[in-house]
Each structure stands twice: as structure tokens, then as C-alpha cells.
A and B are shown apart, each in its own frame.
Chain A
Amino acid sequence: MATYSPHQERHPNMLRREHREWLLFVLFIGPNLFLFSVFTYWPLLYNVYLSMVRWDFLRPTMPFVGLQNYIAAFSDPRFWNIIWQTATFTIWSVGLTLVLGLLLALLLNQRLLYRNTARAVVFAPVVMSGAVVAVVWSYIFDPRYGLIDQLLSFVGLRSPNWLVDPFWAMPAVIIVYVWKNIGYAVVIYLAGLQNIPRELYDAARVDGAGAWERFWHVTLPGLSPIAFFLSVTSILSCFQAFDLIRVLTNGGPADVTTTLVFHLYELGFVSYDAGKAGVVAVVLFLIMLALTIVQIRYVERQVTYG
């Protein structure tokens, strides 16, 4: 990797100077790397160790049990349910964010008055605290006095009891996730739309392509790298979604909104089972690592060919 200083000039007393520079480099970057070692790299290793012991955070001994925690987890239907629910939550959230985000971006890319205001409104939820967004939405979902019931009553429907109904709890979490995160997808798409060369549209028009054909053959292919980037980052962010679930449903009712990251929190800080928490942390890390590698491959390709 070409990360060397762009200013390598020769000097008479270069060696001493160079050593002083090495020392300075260590001083400059050392604190950052030290903190990463303690609070990022070490936990990775420690998770692997924890996943092979039985421990309740209190007992003085941590008996080594080998792969038993893994076997117990993978033979537990609840664990597979949780993986399935994580996948459901992720696929719906990412799918809706990407598709609706694209429609919104196409709309807000038009030369309409006040479109910057609209963009700001759409983006604002992204910077809000997820926990507080979830608090606000738990009132909106209130089956009697909430906003949604009010809106549904206009068309003669009654609101389900969103957060305690095993069928509606997951859709509720997905709705809030999409509401909060769609603005991010929109600004990324908008940036991508700026990057599509105008000449392509002009050429397409010269060839007699209509609006729909131009969208299908110029806009969509032009956006596909962005859409790929967005889908990977959104999948990663779904795997990390904690605050919405903790505040809206606390993983319930009857477990239906428990995702892997919530399960990890629950095992570690509610049922105090360090071994099983370790297993979930390792599994979660491996899944996310695979996704990140896909993403980096993509970024590299962009740099090379883009």
C-alpha cells in the first residue's frame, strides 16, 4: 500500500533525522493504536475465549468447556429463530430503504422549488438519537391515542396493538428503522445521481430514448455501484440496530423482535451468561466481517476502474 510520505527528500544527516521522525510517528499514532488494542482488538480475542468457558460474571473460576457453548447454541431452535428474525428485519429494512430511498432521490433530484427544504426534512431523522426516536414512535404506535390509529381511522380501520402483537411488532420496528434511516440513502443516491455524466442522457436522447428508457438504461446502471455500497452499509447497520429494538419492544413480544445484537446484550447484561454471549459475539463478528470484506473489494474496484 502506498502510504509513504509524499515528501521524501534527501538530507545530509538523514539517519538521525529519520529516527527522530520514527519516534514522533509512534508518539503521534500511539495513543490511538493503544486505545484500539485495549478496547477493540483485545475484546475480539477475549470474545473467542469467553465463548469457550462457562461463566456468570461472578464466580471466581471460569471452567473451560471447549465448543460446548457453540454446540448448545446451534442445536437450540431459539438461536436459529433469532438468526432468522435478524435476516427478516435486515431484508425488509434494507429493501424498503433502498427502493423508497431511490424513489425519493429521483423526486428530490428534480428542479422543484423548496427541494432543499424537503431534503433537509428527509435527512433530519438520521441525526436524531435512535433511542428518542423510538420513544416518540412508541407513543405514535399507541393503539388508542396514537397517531397511527388516528390516521387509520380516517379510512375506517383500527390500529393493531403494534408493539405487543406478535405479528405487528416486527413491522413496527421496520417502519421506524426505515423512517429514521431513509434520509441517508437519499443523500447517497443524490450524490450518485450527480455523478452520472450529462452526456449519457444527451446521447440517449439523440438516439430517441424516452424518459422511461433513459431511466432504465442510463440512470439505473449509473446508480448500481451506489446501490451496492448502500445495501452493504445498510445491512451492516441493521445488524447493529440496538436502540430501536431495546426501546420499542425490548426484543418481545415472545422474542419475535430479538435480533443477534439484542440477543448478545440480553445474554451479557440480563441473563449474565458470558459463554453464550461470547458465541453470539463471535458469530455476529464473522457475519459482519464477511460483509465488510465484500464492501472493501467493491471500494477497491471502484478506485481502480472508477
Chain B
Amino acid sequence: MAVTNEIEQVSKPVIALRRRMPFSVLAWRVAGYAAMLIIVLIIGLPVYWTVTAAFKETREIYSLPVTWWPAKPTLANFPAAWQAAPFGRYYLNSFITTFFGAAAEVTLALFSAYALAYLRFPRKDLVFLLLLAALMVPVEITIVPNYLTVARLGWINTYQGIIVPGAAIAYGTFLLRQAFLAVPREILEAARVDGAGHFRILFSVVAPIAKPAIVTMALLSVVSKWNDFLWPLIVTNTTDMRTLPIGVFWLRNSEGLANWGVVMAGSLFLIVPVLIGFLLAQRAIVEGMTAGAVKG
């Protein structure tokens, strides 16, 4: 556990270390690597299991003993999954709802954050509080009234029905406001002296400077829209309007137990794009998710 400091001072080649390092430190270090390996195995094993199952023949999945590597690797599960459920349509639906949902959040957050950071308004503190209060209402408790609202609007089973109720954004607004306030004052003054209006200032001065924060916020939006489950589940009622998570869920319900290989292949249709995105944007995503916690 508390192996902290002796080890940290050492950053020399292992062979040199072995001579000088006391045995207990070496033991700690070996234990550290062993523990890390075990952790990675525990967390990674379910994903490994999914991937291998997706390449196994159905016969192999349902024979004992269970194999750790596909005996005869096959690609058959992927077209089978694609046919068992309209995954092309699911992708389209997920892309549309994620893109427009996240775009709406980013746009609303940009304008709201600019207004909160730079525009004068009497009782601005009240507006601020209203947005803060929205942070405290979890979407889960709004499902029944929102379903009724969306039904009254005639939006059940439509894209706008999936997107619009979740488009308002409080967390992202605060995240961007914080970034906007950090923009150096002189730059804003210079732009204003040059006669730039608020739109110009927002889009050609503030937004470029605050780009990292905007990217982070957009990524968080995309991840949450892409993974959203409860609301699309409630508000869609035909197969062709389902998003990917709902589609995989129904695929499990119809094919699971009898055909795990196909279900795992279908799961990969959703997991792989997320993992690729995560690898590319890991730093920004982690930063965005931890922003509220440590800065205080």
C-alpha cells in the first residue's frame, strides 16, 4: 500500500537498481507490478471474453469445457447480428440523436456561458441559481411528466422526442463559464475597441481561446448521449427508432441464452467505436469528468 516514496526516487536502469536497492523495496516493486497485472486482468477480462465470444462458433460457445481462445475463429456472428437486428438503422439513429443532442448542448452552453460571464443583467444571480438548481434534478424523476409532455407535442417515437427533452445543459454551462472567465481581460478589451460585437467576440475571440474546455464539454456530451438508455427506451416504441444501446438490449432479449456469440458481436458494434474514441480523447474525457471534484 504505502510504498510511496522510497521507490519514487529511483528511476535508473533495473540492473543498477538490483545491486543498490534493499530487498524490501525490490519486493514492494515486484508486488506492485503483480497487483497491477491482476487489476488489469480483472477489469479487462470481461472485454476479452466478449471479443473472443464474438469470434467463436455457436457450437463452441455451448460446449464444455469453455475455451479461452476461439478454436475455429469465425466472422459469422457479425453478419448474423447485423441481420438479427437492423443495426444499420440503429447506427443512424444513434448518430442522429448523439450529434444533434450534443450539438444542441454545446450551442446552448456556449451562449449561456457567455451571457453569464460577460453580459450585464439585473438579478443575474437569480438566473445563476435557476441553472444551479437544474443540476440538482436527476432526469430519472422527470420521466413520467416528460413522457406526457412529449406525447402532447406528438413527439413520441421521433428524433425530436429523443433529443429535445435532454438538450438543456447546466453542468456544461458552468464548465464553459469558468473557462470564459479565464480569458485575459486585455484581449477582450482590444476586441471591443476594434468594434467587435458580442457575437464576434464569442466566436472569434473567446471560443478559440476556450477551445480545450469546449472540446472537453462536447466529448462529455457525446459520451452521455451515445450511452443514454432510459429516455430513448421510454420514448421509442418501434424497432426502427431504437438507438444502439436499446437495440443491443433487445437483441439480448431475443437471441441471448441461445446465441451469445451473436449478442456479443452486436455488443461490439457499440463498444468498439466508444473504445476507439476513448483512446483518442482519453485525456480530455478524464479531465472533464474530474473537473467538478478537485478544483473546488
Q: Are A302 and B296 in contact (CB under 8 A)?
A: yes
B226 to chain A: which residues have CB within 8 Å? 129
A8 vs B170: C-alpha distance in the bound complex, in angstroms? Answer: 25
Contacts of B137 in A (CB 8 A): 40-41, 43-44, 285
User: Which residue of chain A has the shortest Cβ distance to B181 in the bound complex?
Assistant: A6
The reply to whether the CB of B140 lies closer than 8 angstroms to some CB of chain A is yes
Report the interface size class on chain A.
35 or more
Closest 9 CB pairs of A and B: A215-B2, A43-B145, A35-B168, A28-B115, A43-B142, A302-B296, A129-B227, A46-B145, A131-B245
B116 beta carbon closer than 8 Å to chain A: yes
Contact across chains for B117 and A5 when beta carbons are under 8 A apart:
yes
Q: A135-B252, A191-B294, A247-B249 are in contact. Are A265 and B143 (CB under 8 A)?
A: yes
Q: CB-CB < 8 A to A136: which residues of B? A: 46-47, 49-50, 264, 267
Bound complex: CA A22 to CA B278 (Å): 41
Q: Which of B15-23, B32-40, B72-80, B210-218 is the interface stretch?
A: B32-40
Q: In the complex, given contacts A128-B227, A183-B43, what are 6 additional A-B residue pairs having Cβ atoms less than 8 angstroms apart?
A: A42-B149, A46-B148, A128-B275, A131-B248, A268-B143, A284-B141
Q: Does A277 touch B at the CB level, under 8 Å?
A: yes
Is the CB–CB distance between B46 and A35 below 8 Å?
A: no
Chain B's nearest CB lies how many Å from the CB of A276? 10
Q: Kindly identify which residue among B3, B39, B167, B294 contacts A226, using a CB–CB cutoff of 8 Å.
A: B294
Give the residues in chain B near A138, CB-CB below 8 Å. Answer: 252, 256
Chain B binding surface, main DSSP class:
helix
Is A127 a contact of B234 with CB atoms below 8 Å? no
B30 to chain A, nearest CB (A): 11
Tell me, in angstroms, the Cα distance from A147 to B54 when the chains sit together.
Answer: 14
Verify A268–B119 contact, CB threshold 8 A: no
B2 touches which of A31, A42, A104, A211 (Cβ 8 Å)? A211
Nearest chain B CB to A156 CB, angstrom units: 14
List chain A residues, Cβ under 8 A from B130. Answer: 33, 36
Q: Is A137 interfacial (CB-CB < 8 Å)?
A: yes
Question: Is B164 interfacial (CB-CB < 8 Å)?
Answer: yes
> B121 to nearest A CB, angstroms?
4
Chain A residues near B (Cβ < 8 Å): 1, 3-8, 18, 21-22, 24-29, 31-33, 35-36, 38-44, 46-47, 50, 57, 103-104, 106-112, 114-115, 117-118, 120-132, 135-140, 142, 144-145, 147, 149-150, 153, 179, 182-184, 187-188, 191-192, 195, 201, 205, 211-212, 214-215, 219, 226, 229-230, 233, 236, 239-240, 242-243, 246-247, 261, 264-265, 268-269, 274, 277-278, 281, 284-285, 288-289, 292, 299, 302-303, 306
Task: Contact check, B131 vs A4: say whether CB atoms are below 8 A apart.
Answer: no
Answer whether residue B108 sits at the interface, using C-beta atoms and an 8 A cutoff: yes
Contact in complex: A242, B36 (CB < 8 Å): no
Q: Which residue of A lies closest to B111 (CB)?
A: A28
Q: A-facing mask of B188-222, CB < 8 A → 1, else 0?
A: 11000000001000000000000000000000000
Structural contact, B131 and A36, CB atoms closer than 8 A: yes
Asked if A243 and B169 make an inter-chain contact with CB atoms under 8 angstroms apart, the answer reads no
- Give Cα A225–Cα B10 distance, bound, in whole angstroms: 30
* CB of B129 within 8 Å of the partner chain: yes
Q: Give per-residue flags for B43-61: 1 if the beta carbon is below 8 A from chain A beta carbons, else 0.
A: 1111101100100000001
Q: Is B238's CB within 8 Å of the partner chain A? A: no
Q: What CA separation (Å) do A230 and B290 show in the bound complex?
A: 11
Can you list 21 A-B contacts (CB < 8 A)?
Answer: A4-B124, A7-B188, A21-B119, A21-B120, A25-B119, A33-B168, A36-B168, A40-B142, A106-B2, A120-B282, A121-B44, A122-B40, A132-B248, A145-B62, A179-B43, A192-B294, A229-B293, A261-B141, A264-B140, A269-B147, A284-B140
A43 CB contact (under 8 Å) in B53, B141, B252: B141
A223–B233 Cα distance when bound, in Å, is: 39
Chain A residues with Cβ below 8 Å from B167 are: 35
Is there contact, CB below 8 Å, between A127 and B285? yes
Chain B, 99-121, contact with A by CB distance < 8 Å: what is the 0/1 string? 00000000011011011111111
